[in-house]
Chain A
Amino acid sequence: MSNILELKNIGYSYHNLHGETRALEDISFGVAEGEFVAVVGPSGCGKSTLLSIIAGLLTPERGTILVNNPDGSIRHPGIGYMLQRDHLFEWRTVYRNVTLGLEIQKKLTPERLETIERLLREYGLEKFRDKRPSELSGGMKQRAALIRTLALDPRLLLLDEPFSALDYQTRLTVSADICRLIRETGKTMIIITHDLAEAISLADRIIVLSGRPARVKREIPVKLTLKDDSLLAARNAPEFQDYFNSLWEDLTYEK
């Protein structure tokens, strides 16, 4: 099995006049193709920093990242990043929002646009293509943001607490919905979350980070016996509570 991403002894510190704040220390893990990995950890431990490093927005001070990009480019074109909010631009229509990435990379080719058309159809956004983002529901906005990310055909998706701006009920639906859609594309995903239930229900493997400076404290493979395909199936699985308690202990002990 080939790892799409390999992190080796990654370290990163923030610097200001008062001194150095170590955010990440000696982080190593790999992510296999098609795998869903959730990263959890105490708040402020540097989860987002880790994701920014993987996305190539920050350069690690120590260690190496191997991104399995065929052309070995530095810009990580194979990575799609979903931020904490959908960040759809109100001054663009939904359609012009989802084509933003292609526009920036000057890849508005017929094939790519065809893909976007297909995704808009599949995700039920076709009718809303000429609407403004504010006219969409929270779930539809997330779907639009997902299309914007998928339009560039990334192999690895990074989700930085992508549903944290939604209210609880919408969040349950939308997170399951978005992750199902990503599963269907067969892409690899790393999701950062502080919601343990979300991590257990969505991921194949959970990486627990320690408090600052963050190290990999534990890696937990998740295997749930699912009765059906419903939204709450994962949360009703018999093993769910065990995973939850074990993670809870890991994080509580940290504080």
Chain B
Amino acid sequence: MRNNSKKELTKQEEFMRRHRRHHHEIALWRALVFVLFLALWELSADLCWIDSFFFSSPSRVVLCLVKQIRTNSMLFHIGVTLFETIASFLLVLFFSLVMSTLLWCSTKLSEVLEPYLVVLNSLPKSALAPLFIVWLGTGAKTIIVAGISVALFGSVISFYTAFRQADSEKITLIYTLGGNRRDAFMKVVLPGSVPMLLSTAKVNIGLALVGVIIGEFLAARRGLGYLIIYGSQVFQLDMVITSIIILCVIALLFYKSVQVIEHQIRIRFKM
């Protein structure tokens, strides 16, 4: 018996070790791909396989970043884009929660609005950006509205779908306990949809960033989107590529932070 349990323990340990080794291996490969890519990029620029004027190089990106940070403009542009994205993300969450709740409350309303939502969701929102500029000018307001417009309709549809998928028997249970529709929403539909709302939020933060960059392309005098357009117009491609790399980092950070929040909520409510 004792022997047996000892054997099992080692088996378990072996499994754990294999599991850990697998994860280390994956992490190693990821790092390797990144380093190799940078090295290849740098090398091909140094050896003039590619024209570093057009394709830049890691060292030029670092130089550009240092210069921009020293003149203090880059941090400002990053800050503007961050602010606009977070603002439109939060507004998207708020409006989609309100709108999907209204749709859930009134089946008639949802039936009436369904085709409009579908059209607005499939419409390429960048087509609307020029209109926003004319209506709202070229300030942060326009950019935030552009960010909202990209994420909002899909988000409303996802939220509403999540609400609709609530277990109808659980709603019946609320009624048998003497509850009304409001109780059904607050106690079954909303809490039951939290996982779905969280995964939609993860998509939304990315879409809000897309909308903000589109808006900055067209209407801004600041922000990373503006920097990319400006850089391409004056042929400062180092600046363009540096901004794009910063955008990559921002997108990653956004995604990770929503993921962390999601994880916290899941632990809190054990979902």
Binding site for B on A (CB under 8 A): 55, 57, 75, 77, 79-81, 83-85, 87, 89-92, 100-101, 103-105, 132, 148, 152
Contacts and interface: CB of A to CB of B under 8 A. Distances in A.
25 contacts: A57-B172, A57-B176, A77-B178, A81-B173, A83-B172, A84-B169, A85-B169, A87-B167, A87-B170, A87-B173, A89-B170, A89-B187, A89-B188, A89-B191, A89-B192, A90-B270, A91-B192, A91-B194, A91-B271, A92-B191, A103-B187, A104-B174, A105-B177, A105-B178, A105-B179
- What are the 4 closest A-B residue pairs judged by CB atoms, nearest first? A81-B176, A101-B177, A104-B179, A91-B191
A228 B271 CA distance: 44
Interface string B168-201: 0110111111110001000110011010000000
A225 B203 CA distance: 65
A101 B173 CA distance: 9
B259 to A, nearest CB: 20
A89 B269 CA distance: 11
B169 A87 contact: yes
B163 to A, nearest CB: 15
B176 A83 contact: yes
A104 B183 CA distance: 7
A104 B178 contact: yes
Interface residues of B, number: 20
A202 B99 CA distance: 49
B269 A91 contact: yes
A132 to B, nearest CB: 5
A219 B170 CA distance: 32
B154 to A, nearest CB: 25
A101 B187 CA distance: 11
B178 A75 contact: yes
Contacts, number: 52
Nearest to A102: B177
Nearest to B178: A105
B160 to A, nearest CB: 20
Contacts of A100: 177, 187
A215 B102 CA distance: 42
A104 B271 contact: no
Nearest to B182: A104
Contacts of B192: 89, 91
Contacts of B271: 90-91
Contacts of B188: 89
B21 to A, nearest CB: 32
B191 A104 contact: no
B270 A132 contact: yes
B178 A152 contact: yes
Contacts of B183: 104
Contacts of A148: 177
B197 to A, nearest CB: 13
Interface string B255-271: 00000000000000111
A152 B173 CA distance: 13
Contacts of B269: 91
A93 B24 CA distance: 37
A132 B176 CA distance: 22
A101 B170 contact: no
A205 to B, nearest CB: 23
Contact of B178 (A87, A92, A101): A101
A77 to B, nearest CB: 6
Contact of B177 (A90, A91, A132, A152): A152
Contacts of A101: 177-178
Contacts of B194: 91
B177 A104 contact: yes
Q: Determine which residue in B174, B178, B191, B194 has the highest number of CB atoms from chain A within 10 A of its CB, and name it.
A: B178
Nearest to B170: A87
Contacts of B170: 87, 89
Contacts of A83: 169, 172-173, 176
Contact of A57 (B167, B175, B270): B175
Interface in B208-264: none
Contacts of A84: 169
Contacts of B169: 83-85, 87
A237 to B, nearest CB: 33
A83 B187 CA distance: 17
